Amino acid sequence: MRQRWLTDVGLTVVVLLAQSAPYLFTQQPPDTIWVYWPVLLTSLPTLTRRWQPGASLAVAAVGIAAYAAVDAGPSQPIWYGPLVIFYTVAHQAGRIERILCVIGTAVGALSVIGSVNTAVRELATWSAAYAIGALGRTRKEMAAQAERNRIARDLHDILGHSLAVMIVQAEGGAAVARTDPGRAEAAFDAISASGREAMGQLRAAVGELRESQPQLADLHQLVRTTQRTGLSVRLTERGRPRPTPAEVQVAAYRVVQEALTNVVKHAGATSAEVLVDWTAGLRVSVSDDGRGAGTTAGGHGLTGLRERVGAVGGRISVGAGDQGKGFRVAAVFS
């Protein structure tokens, strides 16, 4: 906040100096403060543009009109302050406020333009300021939407895997509650552990704690959690691990997590293998001995994985395992 305030103060000073330049370089200093105050009125609202963009533009517009009415100073080639404020209006003001500001600016400009050349220049200048601001707003909205999509995928992956483990354990525990209390107690312990793990990952996802995002080193814990369902899971690593961007590691982890979730929920498998291969870039895969592609090829989970993997420059493939048996999900990151 302090840095932003200092930036705004610095920008306001620069704008004030730029709009004072005609007095400094035309040897025509203002006779009185009443001649110079419209320059202040068009410059100082730059300081408040983030908090009140529409009101700041209106004050600056009054300054422009006052400067024309006084008609005692040198010509102002460019109104830097109002242009900066107009950019801010396009960048962060609400829709209604933007429309009103555009209409007001257009009406004000048409009322003072005296020639075709001036009209073309003013139209190009003000349109460029607004277009740059609108582009910045669009990019910000797209980034926000992408982040919301990322969080939604994280929530799907976390909840899908944890709930699948918990449901399987709950069903198994209920089945043996009377005949084998020891196994039932172990099943309920596994449910509790899965719930705690899911809560920790949810806090990280919702709280935007990037340092707590899962990495490839966490696959060992993921495999242990999945084994509590009774599925035999083996983790195999090939090659020598190398430094990998955090976002790639998160994507690779989510591929394994979603694939194991599908194995537990749909495949009817007894075993699965997780492979992390470093021999040529990074490749992760999950293979099982279940029913195959007929029950696991679709769904929102794999669609989300394709989007996630593609976002970090990877590619994903799904299909039958070795010799046409079972099912395999594989992702390759260059």
Assess if residue 120 is contained within a domain: no
252 and 321: one domain? yes
282 and 164: one domain? yes
Which residue from 303, 297, 300 is spatially nearest to 328, judged by alpha carbons? 297
320 and 194: one domain? yes
Assess if residue 123 is contained within a domain: no
Assess if residue 281 is contained within a domain: yes
Give all strands (DSSP E) within the chain, no chain letters.
232-238, 271-277, 282-288, 315-319, 327-333
Assess if residue 130 is contained within a domain: no
Assess if residue 275 is contained within a domain: yes
Whether the per-residue pLDDT at 255 is higher than 50: the answer is yes
CATH assignment at residue 154: 3.30.565.10
Whether the per-residue pLDDT at 299 is higher than 50: the answer is no
Instruction: Give mean pLDDT, residues 255-269.
Output: 86
pLDDT in tens, 143-166: 777 777 777 777 777 676 677 777
Whether the per-residue pLDDT at 219 is higher than 90: the answer is yes
Mean pLDDT for all residues in the chain: 81
Assess if residue 119 is contained within a domain: no
Token pair in block for residue 217: 């080193």
160 and 63: one domain? no
Assess if residue 118 is contained within a domain: no
pLDDT at position 235, please? 95
Whether the per-residue pLDDT at 167 is higher than 80: the answer is no
Assess if residue 129 is contained within a domain: no
Residues with Cβ within 8 Å of 261's Cβ and at least 6 positions away in sequence, in order, are 157, 160, 161, 164, 301
Name the one residue in this structure whose structure tokens are 């202040």.
40
Query: Of 68, 92, 112, at which residue does a domain stop?
Result: 112
What global pTM score does this model have? Answer: 0.53
pLDDT at position 45, please? 94
Whether the per-residue pLDDT at 295 is higher than 50: the answer is no
8 and 104: one domain? yes
Q: Pick the residue with more confidence: 71 or 230?
A: 230
pLDDT at position 94, please? 87
pLDDT at position 175, please? 65
| Structural domain harbouring 208 | 143-333
9 and 154: one domain? no
183 and 318: one domain? yes
Q: Pick the residue with more confidence: 269 or 119?
A: 269
pLDDT in tens, 79-106: 899 999 999 999 988 889 999 999 988 8
Strands, sheet with 271-277, edge to edge from the N-terminal-most edge strand: 232-238, 271-277, 282-288, 327-333, 315-319
297 and 208: one domain? yes
Q: Pick the residue with more confidence: 65 or 183?
A: 65
50 and 169: one domain? no
154 and 280: one domain? yes
Instruction: Give mean pLDDT, residues 248-256.
Output: 91
User: In the chain, how many domains are there?
Assistant: 2
